[in-house]
Amino acid sequence: MPEPDTTMAETSDRVPVLMYHRVGDAHNAWEARYAIAPDAYAAHMQALAGVGFQAVGVDALVSWLEGGPALPANAIVVTFDDGFRGVREHALPVMENLAWPFTVFLVSDLIGQQDVWTRSANPAGVTYPLLDAAEIRELQQRGVSFHSHTRSHASLPTLDESALADQLGGSRARLADLLGHNVAYLAYPFGHVDDRVEAATRAAGYRAAFSTQSGFNRRDVNRLRIRRIDVYGTDTPPMLLRKIRFGTNDGGFGHVAAYYLGRVTSRLTGR
């Protein structure tokens, strides 16, 4: 497959944001979508570094989107939703070895507890531990940034105005108290967002928010719907590189073939 072009211009004009969840073993097919084995995660990061990608922090990304300093060519952003304990155990050593920053979006009312919102969806009916306050503070001291994933991982479009404001503002306030700084960014639970939720996110004081819509982020992207590429536990390093190259959640060869066929057809038809 074609590899990323590391000889391109010295600054980036489009930035992919990667979305991971739990780093740990998957015990069924449902979990394999959201959980990546520790050795597989390490292989992902090594593959990215090997072809010239460079992780940048979420602050650098948002500053660039707002017209601030340029980002290096092949810049990427690495994010984790939910705040699973496996991020500390398995992802942190890999990222520290590369000197790469990353961001974790926390469910503020479930810190130190379990991902109870998945119990009914997971065929095994099990849950997994989330980072506790002491672990979060330790990771923060080691360079990890933390932001909001709401209070309880609720589907925001289903809430009334009061509950929606509470999920957004309550999470910001609680996390600011824990972290000792303003909480500027949000990741929408389940990726569920509509115009009303976007307006409430802005009203709650968030500087930017992250969706689950795939694609690249250019400077004209809606900063309250920043795009992310969903990384599955079943993605091999070549599949991950294909996802990033094409800005898609589908890393299979079929998508690549369809992409190039579409380009050829477009040239032949002039469309």
What does the pLDDT look like over 166-188, one tens digit per residue? 999 999 999 999 999 999 999 99
CA nearest neighbour of 244 among 3, 23, 59: 3
C-alpha dist (Å) from residue 117 to 107, 128, 236:
11, 11, 28
pLDDT for 264 beyond 50: no
The pLDDT mean for the chain works out to 92
Indicate the pLDDT class of residue 12, thresholds 50, 70 and 90: confident
| pLDDT in the model for residue 271 | 55
CA nearest neighbour of 162 among 112, 109, 200: 200
What is the amino acid identity at position 202?
R
Q: Contacts for 190-193 with beta carbons within 8 Å, 24 or more apart? A: 190/153, 190/155, 192/155, 192/156, 192/157, 192/158, 193/156, 193/157, 193/225
Q: Which SS3 state, helix, strand or coil, does residue 24 take?
A: coil
**Residue range 70-92: average pLDDT?**
97
Q: What is the pTM of this model?
A: 0.90
Would you say domain 17-269 falls under CATH 3.20.20.370? Answer: yes
Q: Which SS3 state, helix, strand or coil, does residue 22 take?
A: strand
Sign of CA dihedral 148, 154, 157, 163: negative
Percent of the chain with pLDDT over 90: 87
